Structure 1
Amino acid sequence: MRMKCPRCPQSVGLALSVLCLLGSLGCVGSARVVSENVPKPPAGNTSDTSGASFAAEVRLRSELAALFEAPRFDHTLWGVVVRSLNSGQSLYRLNATKLVMPASNMKAVTLAATAEQLGWDYRYETQLLTRAAIEGGVLLGDLIVHSNGDPTFNRLHTDPSEVFTAWANELKRLGIRTIEGRIIGDDNAFDESDLGAGWAWDYLGYGYAAPIGTLQLYQNTVSLEIRPGDMVGDPIVVEVWPAYSGLELTVLARTVVADAPFTINLSRLPGQSSLKVSGSVPVGAQAVTQTASVPNPTEFFVRSFRAALNDNGIVVRGDAIDIDELADADHVGTPRQLLVHRSPPLTETGSVLMKVSQNLYAETFLKTLGGQTARGNTVAGREVVRAVLASWGISPDAYVQYDGSGLSRYNYVTADMLVAILTRMHRDPKHTERFKATLPMAGRDGSLAQRMKGSRAENNARAKTGSISNVRALSGYVTTLDGELLAFSIIANHFHLPQSAIDAVTDLAVERLANFTRQ
Structure 2
Amino acid sequence: MTPRIARAALALLLLSPACAARQQWHGAPAADGRASSVGAISTLAADLDALFDTPPFDTALWSVRIERAGGDVLYEKNPRALAMPASNMKIVTMATAAEALGWDYRFETRLVAEGDVRDGVLHGDLRVIGGGDPSISSVGFGPAPLFGEWARALRAAGITRVTGRLIGDDNAFDDERLGSGWAWDYLAWGYAAPVSALQYGENVAVLRMRAGAREGDPVEVIASPPGHGLRILSTVRTGAPDATANIELERLPGQPTLTVTGVVPAGRPVNIRTASIDNPTQFFVDAFREVLVDSGITVAGPAVDIDETEGYAPSGAPRTIATHQSPPLSELGAHFMKVSQNMYGETFLKAMGRDRAGKILESWGIAPGTYNIADGSGLSRYNLIHASMLTTILRRMYEDDRHRAWFSATLPVAGHDGTLGRRMIGTELQRAVQAKTGTIANARSLSGYLTAPSGERVIFSIMGNNFLRRASEIDAVAEAALTRVLRELASRSPQPPAPASR
If the TM-score is normalised by the length of the shorter chain, which range does it land in? 0.7 to 0.9
Other-structure match for 1:10: none
CA contact (8 A) 1:452 1:458 kept: yes
* CA displacement at 1:199 relative to structure 2: 0.8
> Which residue of structure 2 lines up, in the alignment, with residue 35 of structure 1?
none
CA contact (8 A) 2:125 2:315 kept: no
- Cα shift readout 1:311-351 (whole Å, capped 9, x = no counterpart): 33433333222112324264355523222111111111111
2:364 maps to which residue? 392
1:100 corresponds to 2:72 = no
**Aligned pair 1:48/2:29, yes or no?**
no
Q: What secondary structure does 1:132 align onto? A: strand
Farther off after superposition, 465-474 or 274-283: 274-283
1:314 aligns with: 297
Structure 2: which amino acid aligns with 1:432? R
Corresponding residue number in structure 2 for 1:60: 44
What is the TM-score normalised by the length of structure 1?
A: 0.85
Aligned residue number for residue 287 of structure 2:
304
Alignment equivalent of 1:241, drawn from 224, 227, 234: 224
Amino acid at match of 2:68: S
Work out which of the residue numbers 345, 357, 382 in structure 2 matches 1:410. 382
Write the letter of the residue equivalent to 1:352.
Answer: H
Structure 2, unpaired ranges of 5+? 1-13, 494-502
Q: Deviations along 1:269-288, whole A, 9 cap, x unmatched?
A: 11111111122334555430
Q: How many angstroms apart in 1 are the aligned matches of 2:63 and 2:138? A: 36
Decide which moves more: 223-232 or 442-451.
Answer: 223-232
Q: For 2:20 and 2:280, locate their aligned partners in 1 and report how far apart those are by CA, in whole Å.
A: 60
Secondary structure in 2 matching 1:338: strand
Amino acid at match of 1:309: L
Show CA shifts across 1:201-254 (max 9, x none): 111110000111111111000111123345554443211111211111122334
Residue 457 (structure 1) aligned with residue 456 (structure 2)? no
Structure 1 equivalent of residue 273 of structure 2: 290
Provide the residue aligned with 2:320 in structure 1.
337
Distance 1:21 1:486, change over 3 A: closer
Equivalent in the alignment of 1:510 = 482
CA distance in 2, matches of 1:290, 1:397: 39
Q: Matches of 1:483 and 1:68 in 2, distance apart?
A: 27
Q: Please state whether the residue corresponding to 1:71 is helix, strand or coil.
A: coil
SS at match of 1:243: coil
Question: Residues 180 and 41 from structure 1, CA distance in 2 versus in 1: closer, same or farther, beyond 3 angstroms?
Answer: farther
Cα 1:321–1:504 change in 2 (3 A) is: same
Count of equivalent residues: 474
Residue equivalent to 1:359: 342
TM-score (norm 2): 0.87
- Answer yes or no: is the 8 Å Cα contact 2:169–2:305 preserved in 1: yes
Alpha-carbon distance between aligned partners in 2 of 1:496 and 1:344, rounded to the nearest angstrom = 41
| Match of residue 79, structure 1, among 32, 49, 63 | 63
Give the Cα–Cα distance (whole angstroms) in 1 for the partners of residues 110 and 302 of structure 2: 19
Match of 2:465 among 462, 473, 493: 493
- Write the deviation string for residues 463-488 of structure 1: whole angstroms up to 9, x where unpaired: 00000011110000111233221100
User: In the aligned structure 2, how far is the partner of 1:259 from the partner of 1:135?
Assistant: 64
Which residues in structure 2 correspond to 1:253-272 (within 5 Å)?
253-258=236-241, 260-272=243-255
Residue 422 of structure 1 aligns with an amino acid whose one-letter code is: L
Amino acid at match of 2:464: A
Quote the offset at 1:425 in angstroms. 1.3
Partner of residue 161, structure 2: 178
3-state SS of 2:207 partner: strand
- Percent identity over paired residues: 48
CA contact (8 A) 1:480 1:513 kept: no
Partner of 1:429: 401
Does the residue aligned with 1:123 lie in a helix, a strand or coil? coil
Q: 2:53 aligns with which of 66, 69, 85?
A: 69
1:212 and 2:212 aligned: no
Task: Name the structure 2 match of 1:30.
Answer: none
SS at match of 1:117: helix
**Residue 464 of structure 2: SS of its match in structure 1?**
strand
Q: Distance in 1 between matches of 2:94 and 2:443?
A: 21
**Rounded Cα–Cα distance in structure 1 between residues aligned with 2:256 and 2:462:** 40
2:249, 2:260 within 8 Å by CA — same for their partners in 1? yes
- Tell me the SS of whatever aligns to 1:406: coil
| Alpha-carbon distance in 1 for matches of 2:459, 2:33 | 23
SS state of the match for residue 133, structure 1? strand
Alpha-carbon distance between aligned partners in 1 of 2:16 and 2:436, rounded to the nearest angstrom: 35
Change (3 A) 1:54 1:327: closer
Contact (CA 8 Å) 2:136, 2:144: kept in 1 or not?
A: no
SS of structure 2 residue aligned to 1:82: strand
